[in-house]
Copies of this chain bind each other. A is one copy, B any other.
Amino acid sequence: MVDGCAVKVVDADRVSAVRERMPSAGDVTDTADVFGLLADPNRLRLLVALLDGELCVCDLAAVTGQSESAVSHALRLLRAHRIVAARRSGRMAYYRLEDPHVRLLLDVALAHTEHTEAIHPERDGRS
C-alpha cells in the first residue's frame, strides 16, 4: 500500500478507493497478455475460424490467407498460452479453441463489431 505519487492527488478518497479495487499487477498483466494475443488480425482470424470447431493447419492457412509457417508460429503462441489445443492424426494436426474465456471474449467482441462497424471515424493522431 505504498504511495509514491500522492503529492498532486486531487480527489484523494476516490484515488484510494480505486486503488483498493484495482486488480493485482499480476492480474492486470495477465489480462493484458490475453488481449495482446487477440490483438493481431491474423491470430484473431485463426481463432474466429476455430469458433466452429477444429481445423488442421493447412486449412487454417487457407481460411485465413496466411502462409502455413505463419500459421504454425501463431498456433504455437496460442498453444503456449493454452488458448488452443492440438490433436494429432497421422501427420496432420487439428487445432481447436480450448479456452472458454477467450471464446466468450471473441463472441462479445465480434457481436459488437458487427453492430458498431459504421461508427468508427477514428484515425486521429496515428496512422
Residues of A within 8 A of B (CB): 3-6, 8-11, 14-15, 17-19, 21-23, 25-36, 38-41, 43-45, 48-49, 52-53, 55-56, 58-59, 61-63, 65, 76-77, 79-82, 85-86, 92, 101, 104-105, 108-110, 112-114, 116-117, 119-120, 122-126
A126–B82 contact, CB under 8 A? no
Indicate how many identical chains form the complex.
Answer: 2
CA distance A33 to B40 in the complex (A): 8
Q: Is the interface of A mostly helix, strand, loop or mixed?
A: helix
Chain B residue at minimal CB-CB distance from A6: B62
Which B residues touch A31, using CB under 8 A? 38, 44, 109-110, 113
